[in-house]
Amino acid sequence: MTTAPIRPVQALLVVDVQSAFVSGGEAVPDAARVLDRTRDLLARARAAGALVVHLQNDGTPGTADEPHTPGWELHLPVEPGPREAVVRKTDDDGFEDTRLGELLTGAGVRELALCGVLSEMCVSATARTALRRGYRVVLPHDAHATYDIPAAPGISEAVPAAMSSRAAEWALGDEVEIVARAADVPFVAGELTAEREAAGARVR
């Protein structure tokens, strides 16, 4: 876990902070903490002019995050513009068949932070691909979460969510920068390409 001062990142990826996972009776156990840390990260990323990308999972019919159902909606407000976007996905990996890579390139991003849910699934899968593509990846320990793993007879007792999240961090290996507190992650603006500036102007 990183203890030295953290170099600034140029982007924040908010992974699947959708109502089904962070509100109501089916929320992850640490939803309140993740929402608090995510709000802080969003405020500071926006203030610095960093790129913000909200990943939104399109679940299959009948699931909690089925598109255009209440659980699918992003739980925190989005501020559309040249430095903030929503990317819908159908895979754990936020890069798979999406425009995420294009957005990061267009915003001059080489270093990024992730937060959200679920630690061992979409957060982990997106972090792995980012590392594979050569990005520096920062993962604040207190800004991602998952569910408890139920007991499996003959295999294991129940695994608390906090342990599962920590195991997901460990499994990412030495390349990812795990930091204890989201509050310690600094942001800086990347350099937008002309095309990205124009696209943002059209959105506004």
| Alpha-carbon distances, residue 89 vs 57, 99, 196 (angstroms) | 5, 10, 21
Query: How high is the pLDDT of residue 94?
Result: 98
Q: From residue 95, how far is each of 9, 29, 129, 163, 184 by CA, in Å?
A: 18, 27, 7, 26, 26
CA distances from 169 to 114, 143, 155 (A): 12, 12, 22
φ/ψ (deg, to 5) at 60: -80, 160
pLDDT at 202: 37
Query: Per-residue pLDDT for the chain (204 aa), expressed as one digit of tens each?
Result: 656 779 999 999 999 999 999 999 999 999 999 999 999 999 999 999 999 999 999 999 999 999 999 999 999 999 989 999 999 999 999 999 999 999 999 999 999 999 999 999 999 999 999 999 999 999 999 999 999 988 999 998 999 999 999 999 999 999 999 999 999 999 999 886 645 454 543 332
* pLDDT at residue 56 in the model: 98
**Sequence-distant (≥ 6) Cβ neighbours of residue 187 within 8 angstroms:** 8, 9, 10, 12, 44, 45, 47, 48, 50, 113
C-alpha 96/C-alpha 200 separation (Å) is: 23
Long-range contacts of 123-128 (CB under 8 A, 24+ apart): 123/15, 123/168, 124/92, 124/168, 124/171, 124/172, 125/91, 125/92, 125/93, 125/94, 126/13, 126/15, 126/55, 126/92, 126/93, 126/94, 126/95, 127/172, 127/176, 128/93, 128/172
Q: Choosing from 122, 137, 161, 179, which is the catalytic residue?
A: 122
Q: What is the pLDDT of residue 5?
A: 79
- pTM recorded for the entire structure: 0.91
DSSP of 7-55: PPBSEEEEE--BHHHHSSTTS-TTHHHHHHHHHHHHHHHHHHT-EEEEE
Q: What is the pLDDT of residue 3?
A: 60
Q: Is 115 a catalytic residue?
A: no
Query: Given this model, what pLDDT does residue 162 score?
Result: 94
